[in-house]
Amino acid sequence: MAYGAVNVPGVTGAELEAVRQLAQSAKDTADAAQEAITEITTKVSAVPSQSGTLTYNGAAQTPKWNNYDPNALEIGGTQSATDAGTYQVTFTPKQGYKWEDGTTTAKTVNWSIGRANVATPAQSGSLTYTGSTQSPTWSNYDSEKMTIGGTTTGTNAGSYNATFTPKANYQFSDGTTGAKTVAWTIAKAAGSLSLNTSSLSLGAGSSMTGTITATRAGDGAISATSGNAGVATVKVSGTTITVTAVGDGSTTITVNCAAGTNHNAPGSKTVSVNVQMANPDLSKNDPATIKAAAQSGQAKNLWSVGDKTPIAINGKVGALTIKGTYYAIILGFDHNASVEGGNSIHFQIGKDASGKDIAFVDSEYLSSGSSAAFRMNTSNTNSGGWNNSYMRKTICPAFLAALPADWQNIIVACTKYSDNTGGGSDTASKVTSTQDKIWLLSEFEVQGKRSYANSAEQNYQKQYDYYKNGNSKVKYKHNDTGSACLWWLRSVYAAASSSFCHVAAGGGVSYNIAGFSLGFAPGFKVA
């Protein structure tokens, strides 16, 4: 029977067909097995991923891969890098391979290089104020790894803020990459304090006030306290400390300087203060004490108008030799201050030891004899007024010279307004000022009203408190205290060209020709 084209003797066709079918079944089974084996061996089960981590180190780096079989997969893209960042590679199944999902196209996979950690910088060491610009030294600062900003220099003591920002390949240890603010400081320098004196002597015998000048580093506020405000008080203005005497005794002024902008507070300094006040009895104070009391403005709190003090006069004044102790009386305190100056005591001679009001007279009294007599002028004229009078230019300076030196030293020039032209007309423009250490009183200063003087004088004058208070205007001859005398005033008689005003024997006002010798009762100012 034929099998296909083959006849097999002794075998039936049915038998051959059965064999053929068995062979075909075996072949089909083998093909199926081979197909199954092929399917298993060409699938890629997982997409590769980066194995472990990479951190920037300045060199090129290549990642390691999980699930990567170079026999099955072709790698592409960026396979190595240096800088921190994220990069991409591709994996493509080779011939005969495919992904688990059955695809064969390339898959993109990210890999990365992490930033390197850097520590946050901090100020290294310390800075102290020097007056110059300074910059801190930093620990953990590497300009290759971070940038610096903010305030990086300073001059004054205090706290400043710098900023640090990691560069592209770096991060702070906490993983942040933004700027961090870091404080740094300049410390205050040591303070210093010095005073221009360590002791003061105050009181009416020297000065009622004294000053202490403080010198300190920087701008710290100066303060001062008195250990005994009953002895001396203290006031501070800037770096000047003014100490004012209050009462007898000793105390200590403590001066402090607070911390300033750039300096710490230094230790305190002290000044010892000794105060010796004036005696309330005017006559028991020396001239220097009287002057100090006047200058301090304390005189009016110590003494009263009308108080008197002795002066030993010794010298020739005109034709008269004066030798003896006479008394200066207080006419007023700060008299007419707006014109004649404040912090002053105005005096007049005066009184004798018995308390009698006196004026000096010479042998030519009530006559026009000797040219050296107590006359307003050597002829009967008031031309030139008080300014050019013989009395002002000759007699008054001679009297000053007859005073003791300690009194001469404390008497100061006083601005006095008078008719300085004369000539017999009441003209306001004739009233001008002079500067006098020794002077005669004016009509208005004694009487408080105008009778015969230039009417404009009173615009610049005030009546002395001594006479305003009602004290007697009558004066007696210094050498004959039983006899009242006429005494000169510096005011011209405005209605005549020959005369000056004077105080009459009864205390009223009158006038007399300039060449007559009358009583001499000068005034002066201590300030």
Q: What angle do CA 198, 204, 206 make, to 5 degrees?
A: 45
Do the Cβ atoms of 418 and 434 come closer than 8 Å? yes
Q: Which pLDDT value is given to residue 12?
A: 75
The encoded tokens of residue 57 equal 């180190």
Average pLDDT, the chain: 93
The CA distances from residue 64 to 53, 77, 298, 368, 485, in Å, are 9, 15, 101, 139, 135
pLDDT tops 50 at residue 4: no
Strand segments (E) across 360-458: 411-412, 414-419, 431-436
Helix (H, G, I), strand (E, B) or coil at 117: strand
The pLDDT tens digits of the residues spanning 466-502 come to 999 999 999 999 999 999 999 999 999 999 999 999 9
DSSP readout, 292-354?
A: HHHHHT-HHHH--TT-EEEEEEEEEETTEEEEEEEEEEEEEESTTHHHH-SS-EEEEEEE-TT
Q: What percent of the chain has pLDDT over 70?
A: 93
- Out of 9-18, 330-339, 394-403, 451-460, pick the least confident: 9-18
pLDDT above 90 coverage of the chain, percent = 86
Please, which pLDDT band fits residue 296 given cuts at 50, 70 and 90?
Answer: confident
pLDDT in tens, 23-72: 677 666 656 555 554 455 589 999 999 999 999 999 999 999 999 999 99
Q: What pLDDT is recorded for position 31?
A: 61
Q: Which residues of 90-120 are buried (b: 16+ CB within 10 A; e: fewer)?
A: bbebeeebbbeeeeeebeebebebebeebeb
| The predicted structure's pLDDT at residue 220 | 96
Task: Classify 464 as helix, strand or coil.
Answer: coil
Report the C-alpha gap between 223 and 402 in whole angstroms: 49
- Contacting residues for 229 by C-beta, under 8 A, at least 6 apart: 246
Buried b / exposed e across 359-372, counting CB within 10 Å, b at 16+?
Answer: bbbbebbeebbeeb
The three-state secondary structure class of 96 is coil
Nearest to 286 by CA among 202, 404, 205, 352: 205
- Phi, then psi, of 522 in degrees rounded to 5: -75, 160
**Burial of residue 28, with CB atoms counted within 10 A of its CB: 0-12 exposed, 13-18 middle, 19 or more buried:** exposed
Gap between the Cα atoms of 313 and 479, Å rounded = 14
Calculate the dihedral angle through the C-alpha atoms of 331, 482, 313, 389, rounding to the nearest 10 degrees: 70
Task: Give, in order, the Cα–Cα distances in Å from 285 to each of 111, 205, 273, 350, 352.
Answer: 106, 8, 21, 18, 18
pLDDT at 6 over 70: no
Per-residue pLDDT at 1: 40
User: How many whole angstroms separate alpha carbon 4 and alpha carbon 9?
Assistant: 13
pTM of the predicted model over 0.85: no
Tell me which amino acid residue 273 is. Answer: V
User: Average pLDDT in the 506-527 region?
Assistant: 97
Q: Which amino acid is at 427?
A: T
pLDDT recorded at residue 35: 54
For 247-265, the DSSP string reads SSEEEEEEEEE---SSB--
Q: Is the pLDDT of residue 5 over 70?
A: no
In tens, the pLDDT along 379-396 reads 999 999 999 999 999 999
Compare 204 and 161 and report the one with higher pLDDT: 161
Q: Supply 275's token pair.
A: 């105060």
Q: Which residue has the higher pLDDT, 19 or 256?
A: 256
Q: Which pLDDT value is given to residue 449?
A: 98
Residue labelled with tokens 């898959």: 107
pLDDT at position 3, please? 39
Dihedrals φ, ψ of 8, to 5°? Answer: -110, 115
What pLDDT is attached to residue 30?
56
